Amino acid sequence: MNRPTAHFAIGSHTRLTGLLGSPVAHSMSPLMHNEAFRRLGLDYVYLCFDVKEKELEAAARGLASMGAAGFNCTMPNKMRMCELADQLSTAAELCGSVNTVVVEDGKLIGYNTDGIGYMQAVREAGHDIRQKSMTLLGAGGAATAIAVQAALDGVLELYIFNRKGRSWNRAAALTDRINSHTSCHASLYDFADTTELKKALDRSAILTNATSIGMAPQEEDCPIQDEQLLHEGLIVSDIIYNPRKTRLMELAKSRRCPTFNGLYMLLFQGAEAFRLWTEREMPVPAIRDMYFAD
Ligand code: NDP
């Protein structure tokens, strides 16, 4: 991975942005944002703060009091931030989680840019899934953001598959919210129901794996067992980015399905947060080449 070649100066007017979560040491966000600030000559800095859920309210209010431009939230803080925000975007409200906060007049305005990042990644891969159907595997944090944004952006039918376990009721509530607040029709199925999965995939333009199945170090795992389920022309996307090429993507390639991984979702959720804080577009091609090369 390339490293930034020059440093920017922190001065008395430098605006603060950053990440509140625990752990945060692995995050790519400081690299991406600080390089983008530097390239555009913006007097901003992005720092990581190890903040646990019980400390979030004090940290978030403190940043607002000190005039920070805004911040990102990651695990375990996204749902709690949704409760703490003074105002929410439609997507954040429907998701019940916030990954980006803009500080405006001391108020905390909560957004969720994860789904926006995914939908931009779909477009970047050359696809238009408006008025089409999507099969979504998983109903965790990332899947929820994708489901909500896909529904808001005009996906017609959403088939969500999740395990019948501790998250089932939350997934059912998400499906209800999508059906009552958007024009998309969402339905929820048991992850183990391969008959329904086949029906859903036959009707879908895109399959999105938003489970953690296949993520390192369990790289041999695959959320789809039968390659015959993947019809010709089905777009197969995995939001996992470690490894870059998952077993699911290999399976899809063997069926000649177009594929893409989770790297661009990560890039574009950051680009949207950057735009919200600075009202400038992130220099995406340069950042992509430095940190998100496939
Ligand atoms: P969560 O823990 O919130 O959700 C995980 C989902 O995977 C749940 O639906 C869970 O089901 C499901 N799941 C896990 N194991 C299994 C299994 N063995 N069988 C069936 N379902 C399973 O995690 P996130 O939503 O935050 O992350 C999910 C994946 O997305 C991770 O790999 C993460 O790295 C990636 N990600 C990528 C991003 C990007 O920008 N590209 C952003 C965020 C995440 P259940 O609810 O039943 O446990």
Give, using CA atoms, the residue closest to atom 8 of ligand 1: 140
Ligand 1 centre from 115 Cα, in Å?
14
User: What ligand 1 atom has the least distance to the C-alpha of 212?
Assistant: 32
Determine how β-strand 100-104 pairs with β-strand 107-111.
antiparallel
User: What ligand 1 atom has the least distance to the C-alpha of 75?
Assistant: 26
41 Rama sector, left if φ>0, alpha if ψ -120 to 50, beta otherwise = left
CB-CB contact of 21 with 73 (8 Å): yes
Ligand 1 centre from 210 Cα, in Å?
6
What's the whole-model pTM score?
0.96
- The answer to whether the CB of 165 is under 6 A from ligand 1 is yes
Residue 99, token pair as written in the block: 């990954």
Predicted local distance difference test score (pLDDT) of residue 7: 55
Mean pLDDT, rounded, for 10-22: 96
Contacts of residue 243, Cβ cutoff 8 Å, sequence gap at least 6: 216, 219
Q: Positive or negative CA dihedral for 67, 70, 75, 76? A: positive
49, pLDDT greater than 70: yes
Mean pLDDT, rounded, for 283-289: 96
Predicted local distance difference test score (pLDDT) of residue 293: 80
pLDDT digits (tens, 9 = 90+) for 67-119: 999 999 999 999 999 999 999 999 999 999 999 999 999 999 999 999 999 99
- The answer to whether the CB of 292 is under 6 A from ligand 1 is no
Ligand 1 centre from 140 Cα, in Å?
5
pLDDT-based confidence at residue 4 (cuts at 50, 70, 90): low
Predicted local distance difference test score (pLDDT) of residue 3: 52
Q: How far apart are CA 3 and CA 273, in angstroms?
A: 21
Long-range contacts of 40-43 (CB under 8 A, 24+ apart): 40/278, 40/280, 40/283, 42/278, 42/280, 43/8, 43/11, 43/13, 43/14, 43/15
Residue 290, token pair as written in the block: 């430095």
Nearest to 201 by CA among 171, 231, 222: 231
CB atoms within 10 A of CB 225: 9
* Cα-Cα end-to-end distance for the chain: 11
- The answer to whether the CB of 265 is under 6 A from ligand 1 is yes
